[in-house]
Amino acid sequence: MLFHSLAALCLTLTTTIAATLPAIQYETPVSRRWLLGDDKIRGVNLGSLFIIEEWFAKDEWASMGCKGYYDEWSCVKALGQEAANAAWDTHWKSWVTQSDITKIASYGLNTIRIPIGFWIKEDLVLSDEYYPRGGLKYLDRLVGWARDAGLYIIMDLHGAPGSQSPNEEFTGHGTANPGFFTDANYERANKFLEWMTERIHTNDAYSTVGMLEVINEPIKRRVNATDADDMLERFYPAAWDRIRGRENKLGIAKEDKLHIQYMGSNWGSGHPEKYLNDTTGLYFDDHVYWKFDTRSGTNKTSYINATCNLYRPEADVIVGEFSLSVASALQNNDEFGIQGHPENIAFYTDYFTSQVSIYEKSGGWVFWNWKCNWINQFNDWRWCYKTAVEAGAIPKDASKAASLSPC
């Protein structure tokens, strides 16, 4: 089983989260973690909910008045705080609904990964920074829905103070010179992690949040070795200590403590465990996008072979992002195209099932993304789990997908 004490948990869930917001806060720790056991993580990301990336949410972005702006920062600055808050409020209400969560569970998925920005804790935002306000009540609502649906949750700090990677929409502020790697921004991130840890343990809606990811896709050593090494030596162990320290202060039992996740060494920013004093409950995140990997080759056979030959023995690695996308030069040709090429759907089923069969040799997988709109001048379901299932490319029962692998 992926989770423990399900029966005990269910007995406590005598009511669902009220439709009114915000969710109720509890004064004493809830202290219920669903821990990884013998089963595998099978999940989807809820990207573009709390950090919008225009490239896979073009229609949504335009409807908010943000067309022509690169990221949340630039749109909020252009609209002004009050108008931006109103636009984002409409977005938060509709981008992921309770029916989405119900459908996710019905597809045999057991996990959601929620990418969030540090700015959801609004007192961490500086006066000269531009981020939307008002998202926390919707996060409370979302995790409550997921709890009621029996879904495990990975909470992911996707956008860090100052931005942790250059020119990326997912940081919330695309900048050529990432400013995360300073004492002040490390401290803001650690305050966020402490706050989120306490919220998870003291708010009943968060009772199936079992993993907290310290930071998503930080700068790589080949981009800036100095920043990557500084983060490894100073931020990573401090983040661990602040999370565990807050849990100790709350009196959380060992078996109920969060799993703490870092980007694994395959990401390229170093070995995150190098300076940690403790590794109990440590997990790693790996992102595999064959679209950007030359080992995938240029034909269907080479893509499947590359996937099947990916060796992943580590039980503590979860592939937190992957997709069905292929190299840009190939995506619309006769062999890989999906517009007007129904004969190619069978390949994408093989491509999906071969990937998940390999990732399930480790801790499991989380697809990027659950939903999207208007990619590559059409709705390209190679990035969108929901519409890929509807297209017949992804099996409706995720728990059986690995058994269909051609590997």
Residues 299 and 302: their CA atoms lie apart, in Å, by: 5
Domain ranges of the chain: 6-288
What single-letter amino acid sits at 245? G
Q: On the CB side of 8, how many CA atoms lie within 13 Å of its CA?
A: 10
For residue 89, with 0-12 CB atoms within 10 Å meaning exposed, 13-18 middle and 19 or more buried, which class applies? middle
Residues 157 and 243: their CA atoms lie apart, in Å, by: 13
> Which of the four pLDDT bands, split at 50, 70 and 90, describes residue 294?
very high
3-class DSSP state of 317: strand
Q: What are phi and psi of 132, to 5 degrees?
A: -70, 155
State the catalytic residues: 217, 321
- Helix (H) / strand (E) element for 255: namely none
Nearest CA among 1, 4, 74, 17 for reference residue 253: 4
Nearest CA among 88, 91, 92 for reference residue 75: 88
Average pLDDT, the chain: 91
Assign domain 6-288 to a CATH class.
alpha beta
Structure tokens at 373: 């709109």
User: Is 30's pLDDT higher than 90?
Assistant: no
Report CA Rg, the chain. Answer: 20
Residues 51 and 157: their CA atoms lie apart, in Å, by: 10
Residues 198 and 186: their CA atoms lie apart, in Å, by: 18
User: Is 18's pLDDT higher than 50?
Assistant: no
For residue 104, with 0-12 CB atoms within 10 Å meaning exposed, 13-18 middle and 19 or more buried, which class applies? buried
* pLDDT of 237: 98
Per the confidence metrics, is the pTM higher than 0.95? Answer: no
User: Is 287's pLDDT higher than 70?
Assistant: yes
Q: What are phi and psi of 357, to 5 degrees?
A: -65, -35
User: Is 11's pLDDT higher than 70?
Assistant: no
Yes or no: say if 123 and 57 are a contact pair by the CB < 8 Å rule: no
Q: On the CB side of 185, how many CA atoms lie within 13 Å of its CA?
A: 18
Q: Give pLDDT tens digits for 43-53.
A: 999 999 999 99
User: Is 1's pLDDT higher than 70?
Assistant: no
Residues 213 and 263: their CA atoms lie apart, in Å, by: 8
Place of tokens 């956008």: 159
Nearest CA among 74, 33, 328, 360 for reference residue 200: 33
> Which of the four pLDDT bands, split at 50, 70 and 90, describes residue 3?
very low
Nearest CA among 179, 168, 165 for reference residue 129: 179
Rounded to an integer, the average pLDDT of 342-349 is 98
